[in-house]
Chain A
Amino acid sequence: MKKAGLILTLSVFLLVWVCPHAGANDGPHETAPGESAGWLADAGGRSSSEASNIGRQESLRQAAAAPAADPFSEDYVEEEDEVADLHAEEKVTIADPIEPFNRAMGAFNDRMYFWVLKPVALGYNEVVPEPARISAKNFFDNLGFPARFLSCLLQADFSGAGTEAGRFAINTLWGLGGLLDPAGSETLNLQKQDVDLGQTLGVYGVGHGFYIVWPVYGPSSPRDTLTNIGDQFLYPPSYIEPWYAWFGVWAYEKVNAASFRIGEYEAVKSAAIDPYVAIRDGYIQYRAKSVKARKEKSLLFRDAAGETRKE
């Protein structure tokens, strides 16, 4: 009981302390469209800009020589892409100083998937019908309520927090302890909030740092690693004792989750020219978009997010 009180005071303190700071630092940061232009210049690399200029002139000359109707002769123009990408901030990259380590871990995870996770999940799929697997997923999702609820509060997304509280109450009481998801039905339409502590830091402007691929856990960053540990503290199954019972539950949850996603990794891998870079970019794009979606729901950042949308 004492512990719960402590956590509550801590979260309220964090909320009060972080808000004014974040407002002062991040308000202008988010609305500045010049940011993206700066990034673009950086990405191109100053030393290389000359070289690419020469290249462009050359291809322009070639384009002029080719017949006008040839669609292949049309050059790439930077501006047209600005419009297409809608939000300048979408252009996200991540530093990757430990790439050799990450590539090795990626290769390890690849083997783990094909040698362990996939065969187990396929066997599990054969034995357990889909409705039962969905129920198991619902059950674990329901236990994730404390982490999602706290993240919503910390992000000043009070409607999201309300939705989560309502879902937890309804699904626990009328959904057989979370096995069913009556709250998510069409009539009630209380959908699970896609939220975690890593996004919460992201909303307040904390960057990833750099890219890390953990064995088994997969793509991450220092920010998301630390906050994921925080999320685990708020996840009841983490407290199961003894450790092998915890491990059994953990492994079961992973296999159950994987059973819905068999084939997705294979598809990404076969479509990619360099799967490592494809997954790194996918991870960073996905995280950036979800942070942006959270900002639009936050009382503190909604206006800033809306402004960038209009631009």
Chain B
Amino acid sequence: MKKRLAFMGILCVLVMSTAAYAAGPLATAEVAVGKVLDVLRDPKFKGPEAKQAKTERLRVIYKDMFDEIEFSRRTLARNWNRFSPSERAEFVDLFEQVLEKAYLDKILDYSNEKIVFYQENMLSDKQAEILSKIVTSSKEIPIFYRMILKDGKWKVYDVVVENMSLVQNYRAQFNDILGTDNPPEQLLVILRKKVKEH
């Protein structure tokens, strides 16, 4: 019993110290994107039949990189508070599927463009904006990651592509659909349909 307690104690200390020693936001984002690129470049996953395997590997990485609940809450903004916890859970799940379907092909299209992380702006102790860009032969595409520190880990809650914030863009759409007093169900019906139609 004592041994077990001691073991638990050591485990606790270890876990807590890794949390306190979390990497900075820029390093976190850069490492996560680096992992994504490793999967995309992996010669093992060539050809169309490897798409499924790649997708699964990528899913693990972005689940770790993104805080999808934070992302969902900010896109729904005031309307989030009108959703019940179960409606929220369904919304987060559906929204994630919509995003995955929309952006996965774009990510899988990657063909060795250079990605540069070049600046870290701390907005507060717990929030940061990381600036990066994709460099192609004809243009540069700026991509900013907005990150939040939660339980000792930096997670992405908004992506700003070419100066356009995803959170703000979806918020405009959801506000338009929900108005001020349309029931949450109305949006969920649209999302369910959108997930199915692909």
Contact = CB atoms under 8 A, between A and B. Distances in A.
Grouping DSSP codes into helix (H, G, I), strand (E, B) and loop, the B interface class, with mixed when no group exceeds half, is helix
Interface in B132-177: 137-139, 146, 148, 157-158, 162-165, 168-170, 172-174, 176-177
Grouping DSSP codes into helix (H, G, I), strand (E, B) and loop, the A interface class, with mixed when no group exceeds half, is helix
Nearest to B139: A260
A48 interface: yes
B127 interface: yes
Interface in B82-115: 82-86, 88-89, 92, 98-99, 101-103, 106
A46 to B, nearest CB: 11
Given A72-B85, A130-B137, A274 B80 contact: no
A10 interface: no
A72 B164 contact: no
Interface in A169-216: none
Interface residues of B, number: 50
A265 interface: no
Given A44-B180, A271-B99, A289-B163, A74 B173 contact: no
Nearest to B106: A267
A281 B173 contact: yes
A260 B190 CA distance: 32
A84 B73 contact: no
Interface in A244-289: 260, 263, 267, 270-274, 277-278, 280-282, 285-286, 289
Contacts of B89: 72
A285 B101 contact: no
A59 interface: yes
B191 A273 contact: yes
Interface residues of A, number: 49
A286 B162 contact: yes
Contacts of A263: 106
A62 B84 contact: yes
A63 interface: yes
A285 B165 contact: yes
B106 A48 contact: no
Contacts of B80: 75-76
Contacts of A76: 73-74, 76-78, 80-81
Given A48-B181, A134-B137, A66 B173 contact: no
Interface in A18-44: 44
Contacts of B170: 273, 278
Contacts of A45: 180
A270 B76 contact: no
B168 A90 contact: yes
Given A74-B69, A260-B139, A271-B103, 18 more contacts: A52-B82, A59-B81, A62-B85, A76-B80, A83-B127, A86-B129, A90-B168, A137-B138, A267-B106, A271-B99, A273-B177, A273-B194, A277-B176, A278-B170, A281-B168, A285-B165, A286-B163, A289-B163
Interface of A: 44-45, 48, 51-52, 55-56, 59-60, 62-63, 66, 70-76, 78, 81, 83-86, 90-91, 93, 130, 133-134, 137, 260, 263, 267, 270-274, 277-278, 280-282, 285-286, 289-290
